[in-house]
A = this chain, B = another copy of it.
Amino acid sequence: MAGSGKLVILSVDHGLEQGPARSFAKNPDAYDPAYLFELAIESGCSAHAAPLGAIESCVRDFAGEIPLILKATTTAQVDDALRLGCSGISFTLRWSGSVQGNKMYEEIQEAARRAKQLGLVVFIGVHTKGEGLNGKTGEPAVDVVADGAHIACQLGAHIVQVGVPAAVIEQEAAKYIYEAQGIRVKNLVERARHLVQSSFNGRRIILFSGGELKGTPEMFEEAKQLAQGGAFGTMMGRNALQRPRKEAVAFLHGVMEAYTGRGL
């Protein structure tokens, strides 16, 4: 959002994980990747993030109208971002509680190095998931998300994306220190603040994703609290694309206002 230092990015790759019907049938316009470009532009988003095929099929029609971020996982590599005129590239870090023996770190490293050579902004999206974590409770735990965000920073992310963290401490070894040092994570403002701190104390930009489909007031409230805790903005998909066009534009404007604290 011009002059605010805040970012609201329309980010869509749900079809890769959940298939097109589950992602787009609620608002069939969204089957067409051009619709998503139009929505991001019309609502004034900071950027549009999408997988290779979607960008490749539309980029000529929207050249220069909005910064693009190539979601590299599964469908693309750094050099595609250059070829397609993208400003940034986004990698996924699956964080399961340990950095040991994992080829993924090496792959992100190499890709991030190449991206920086090409002048691209490097996004790392942290997905907390894995055997070491206690499913629906443990994956969004604030200590787990904070660990993942810190690792993304150490891997060289310019911008880190995480899910909204829950008021849970998952790791036994972490519980003691959160209590002993009085790290506050009960409300969302506090958790946002802890996440900013865990991302080099604000030296790196941290964005929160929109998550599951929610009601509009609930989303606005969440965005306000995150912003109050120092969050730099959001990467949002489902909550925007599954609403009809007009409603989606209004919704995105509301989110922007929540982050910037001013009307549009």
Contacts and interface: CB of A to CB of B under 8 A. Distances in A.
Interface of A: 13, 15-22, 25-26, 28, 31-34, 51-54, 56-58, 74-77, 79-80, 99, 105, 109-110, 113, 143, 146-147, 150-151, 153-157, 171, 173-174, 177-178, 181, 183, 194, 197-198, 200-204
A107 to B, nearest CB: 9
Nearest to A50: B154
Q: Is the interface of A mostly helix, strand, loop or mixed?
A: helix
Contact of A146 (B21, B143, B203): B21
A183 B53 contact: no
A145 to B, nearest CB: 10
21 contacts: A15-B147, A15-B150, A16-B151, A18-B173, A19-B143, A19-B171, A19-B174, A19-B198, A21-B146, A25-B181, A31-B198, A32-B200, A34-B203, A52-B109, A52-B156, A53-B153, A54-B154, A56-B156, A57-B204, A74-B151, A76-B156
Given A53-B200, A197-B28, A200-B54, A174 B21 contact: yes
A58 to B, nearest CB: 8
B20 A150 contact: yes
A75 B154 contact: yes
A153 B146 CA distance: 35
Given A16-B154, A53-B204, A57-B203, 16 more contacts: A13-B154, A15-B154, A16-B99, A16-B151, A19-B198, A20-B150, A21-B178, A22-B173, A25-B181, A28-B197, A33-B200, A52-B109, A53-B155, A74-B155, A75-B155, A77-B109
A157 B76 CA distance: 12
A147 B21 CA distance: 8
A196 to B, nearest CB: 9
A18 B143 CA distance: 10
B113 A20 contact: no
A183 B146 CA distance: 41
A183 B25 contact: yes
Contacts of A99: 16-17, 74
